[in-house]
Amino acid sequence: MKEKLQGILQAAKDELAKAADSRALDAARVQFLGKKGELTALLKGMKDVAAEERPIVGQLVNDVRAEIETIIDRQKELIEQAALAHKLESEAIDVTLPGEDLTLGKKHPLNIVLDEFKEIFLGLGFSIAEGPEVELDYYNFEALNIPKDHPARDTQDSFYISDSVVLRSQTSPVQVRTMETKKPPIRIIAPGRVYRSDAVDATHSPVFHQIEGLVVDKNIRMSDLKGILELFAKKLYGEDTVVRFRPHHFPFTEPSAEMDIQCYRCHGEGCPLCKGEGWIEILGCGMVHPTVLEAGGIDPEEYSGYAFGIGLERMVMGRFKIDDIRLFYENDVRFLHQF
């Protein structure tokens, strides 16, 4: 009996020492101490032991059981320590590693200036209007008093989708669409994409952006137009900006004008930026033609208005001294990060 117990104890020691995780440890516990385990089996043989020896053997069995339990506890501790060490090692953080370089995105230069533009006009009580880029010939030309034989209608200039549908070549159609749906007083700006069948070069792109402005109310005069545009120019280009208005012709305004600002680089002296002119053309404008007011369902006897149209790219190129329009659309981050 004694020998058997010693055998079991030795076997348990060997087996437990091999248990490398808690599952193996459990299996070993069942094998030696479980109900069907080896020690229990041995106890069943107690009846064959002489009565006077039973307490001694009983004591021995208990000692062996206690020793096995101690070994299990110790082994369990070893397994837990090993698991913790492994976890610490695998989750270790090297605080000396350099951080990952996160580059922040930036606003596109067109949006930088467009947002300033919007802020100026929203501050003056204007709201923002929109119109479709795929536009009816009627709104793009007809309703704007651009007759059938006007050169602007030439298919060279505009992308026609059908006889009556065109990719809008200007944002001016938003004027008529707005007048059709809103009653005066009207005070809107309409930024958006426009399309022209131009060959791509440093100053031309078949897609670019314009911002339209329209004000219609009672007693609107040319001086209102001049006042608001001069104020806008000073806000965008600086308080000391000098502007001038030159007579011009647009079919949808009468009278019409172009507004120039005095060259902000040479202050009128003449330099490469203003091509020796001393002035830089900024926008077209004028008093809304009575025919256009009528097309918008507004009585020209009762109301008058002014309108203006600005090319966004040209404005931004001047502002940031960008000499090639194609840079706006290439999205080269080396370019975009400069603004």
Strands (E) across 140-295 are located at: 165-167, 186-195, 207-217, 243-250, 253-262, 279-288
State the nearest-atom distance from the C-beta of 124 to ligand DAH, in Å: 17
> Does residue 32 contact residue 15 with C-beta atoms inside 8 Å?
yes
Does residue 178 bind ligand DAH (CB under 6 A)? Answer: no
Does residue 170 bind ligand DAH (CB under 6 A)? Answer: yes
Strands (E) across the chain are located at: 127-128, 134-136, 165-167, 186-195, 207-217, 243-250, 253-262, 279-288, 304-311
**Token digits of residue 46:** 């107690």
**Token digits of residue 176:** 């008529």
> Does residue 227 contact residue 217 with C-beta atoms inside 8 Å?
no
Map residues 240-269 to x or -, x wherever contact with ligand DAH holds by CB under 6 A. Answer: ----------x--x----------------
State the nearest-atom distance from the C-beta of 336 to ligand DAH, in Å: 27
Does residue 304 bind ligand DAH (CB under 6 A)? Answer: no
State the nearest-atom distance from the C-beta of 317 to ligand DAH, in Å: 17
Q: Which residue is nearest to ligand DAH (CB)?
A: 309
Does residue 284 bind ligand DAH (CB under 6 A)? Answer: yes
Does residue 172 bind ligand DAH (CB under 6 A)? Answer: yes
Does residue 308 bind ligand DAH (CB under 6 A)? Answer: yes
State the nearest-atom distance from the C-beta of 286 to ligand DAH, in Å: 4
Which residue ranges make up the site for ligand DAH (CB under 6 A)? 170, 172, 212, 250, 253, 284-286, 307-309
